[in-house]
Amino acid sequence: MSASGNTTVFTNGRFFNGGASEPDIELKSALVIKDGRIAFIGNQKEVQVQSYRDAGVQVADLAEKYVLPGFIDAHMHFLMLGQSLHKVDLDHAKDLEEIRWRISKYAKENPDKQRILCKGWMHSMTNGEAKASMLDDLDPRPIYIDSKDIHSCWCNSAALREMGVQNMEDPAGGTIERDEQGNASGLLSEACVLLIVWPYLAKVLPLDDKTAALRSAIKAYHAVGCTGCIDMAMDENAWEAILALRHAEGGSLPLRVAAHWCIMPGDSEEHRLRQVERAITLSQDFNSECSPDLRIVGIKIICDGVIDACTAALAEPYTSNGQFNGPIWTPEMLGPVVKKACEGGLQCALHAIGDQAVHNAVNVLEKYGKLGQRHRIEHLELTAPQDAKRLGQLGITASIQPVHSDPAILRAWPKLLGPERIKRAFAYSEFADHGATLAIGSDTPTAPYAPLPNLYVATTRKSARQPDADDEPVNGNFKLELVQAMVAVTKGAAYSCFAEERMGSLEVGKMADFCVVDMEWKSGELLKAKVMETWFGGRKVYEA
């Protein structure tokens, strides 16, 4: 390749690097990328622009647009995102009637599909009911409906039959909802999704469909400025698909992927530890030295459920119904698994939403974590002040998804938690004030994956889903500053997976992963911001 073919010069831009309160066009107005990396960033006067032009190098005028490091989604589900892009979208459906209409419409338009896969349903849309009988007359094919949080799956009778659910016992940490006669009635919750639904669909869906789904996910990410991600529930099914896609693409992917291997509760300590051993073995072949852009970095444990379904582990019962659920993973189960992972050099990512689950997670990481291992807690939706403080003290990354704090989806929370507890919801700035590294993700496909609306919620605590609904900000005292949030979805996310030497900021020598954004540098204007271009390794992969 000629010198001009692998070099590009950008001028007249506003470059963000997480230091100043606002990107400064006078200080950093030019960028040179060469051989996929950043070769120069600084004052335009220091760049011999005309000599580059004379040598046939492409010179691009950014017209004072902002250049941000490529976003890194710090908590997502790669294959599931791709598959969700092809599912019937029930998001924002008002009620059962609208859900049924959307499914019927899709069924008529897609007569060749073997199954009807749906997403985005919330319990509140159907008054907490999810019966097979509410779906059975729509279509004879199996119908699977993922809840928005992916912690439950609503099935019709054909789906229950093909999975053989009727004769199964409830798996550890899961519930097969049954009628008065003991027959499976349609709803599979918590561990049932991980242990019954996903494995079955993984077995029956073709590999080509999965690699096509991954391609769709990558394309969708590029369109919103994402160049990297951290998968938070990797399993054999998704891993096989990713390796197949990488092979098909000539040995590399246009997305930098780190992954946490999902550990199932199982029925014995031996079974749990075998899963950790699998993650350790994989990490020996897929790490920063051998495979820097596709790595197994740690394990993921889903310690509790979610607040909306009253399955998150709280220190006190739910206010609305007095329900009091323990965690999916007890401290006795957690200890040996976290200990083995730490000894094997893996990062632990612990899903903990309720304050009791967070407390247990902090305790076990304090007991077994080693200095500099950068363990992390996912979600942290309800935390006690003392545990929020301990995150920074112990070097635990606060892995947060501001999109889950959108007021439009929290209207049931005051009733579920009561007026005092809800004041502790999503205490993001408090985590940072006590020294915790923040890493922002989306948890897609449980929520929209676009980073800029996610940052709008983080920095305003207002709704990106329904901005005109006049909802009060949720605990505005815990909002982040725009610089804080932007760092958390770039440099913080990279740091959280030991990738900050290669990506996450615009610095000489790092990979040329960035996006060009037409925006105002104001939190309240982020919903109007538009990604114009995305560059990955010095190559333009998206243009609006």
pLDDT of residue 21: 60
Instruction: Transcribe 315-349 into DSSP letters.
Output: SS--TTT------SS-HHHHHHHHHHHHHTTPEEE
Q: For residue 158, give every residue at least 6 positions away whose Cβ sits within 8 Å of its Cβ, in sequence order, or none.
A: 136, 140, 141, 142, 143
Fold of 73-77+207-507: TIM Barrel (3.20.20)
pLDDT of residue 20: 57
Which amino acid does the sequence have at 63? Answer: A
CATH of domain 7-64: 2.30.40.10
Q: For residue 154, give every residue at least 6 positions away whose Cβ sits within 8 Å of its Cβ, in sequence order, or none.
A: 121, 130, 135, 144, 145, 147, 186, 187
Sequence ranges of the chain with CATH classification 3.10.310.70: 79-204
pLDDT of residue 199: 86
Beta strands in 160-293 (DSSP E): 174-178, 184-190, 226-234, 256-262
Distance CA(335)–CA(3), nearest Å, equals: 55
Assigned CATH class of 79-204: alpha beta
Sequence ranges of the chain with CATH classification 3.20.20.140: 73-77+207-507
CA distance to 74, 121, 317, 323, per residue, from 314 (Å): 25, 24, 6, 10
Residue 135 is encoded by which pair of tokens? 């779906």
Diameter of the chain measured on Cα atoms: 82
Distance CA(426)–CA(476), nearest Å, equals: 10
Please state whether beta strands 30-34 and 37-42 pair in parallel, antiparallel, or not at all (unpaired): antiparallel
Beta-bridge partner residues of 271 = none
| Residues constituting the chain | 544
As averages over each run of 10 residues, the pLDDT of the chain (544 residues) reads 69 84 68 96 89 91 95 96 93 96 97 95 93 98 94 96 95 90 95 88 90 97 98 95 97 98 93 98 97 98 92 96 91 98 98 98 97 97 98 98 96 95 98 98 94 98 94 96 97 98 96 98 97 98 98
Distance CA(52)–CA(49), nearest Å, equals: 5
Distance CA(119)–CA(90), nearest Å, equals: 6
pLDDT of residue 24: 60
Distance CA(447)–CA(305), nearest Å, equals: 16
| Backbone dihedral region for residue 443 (phi beyond 0: left; psi -120 to 50: alpha; all else: beta) | left
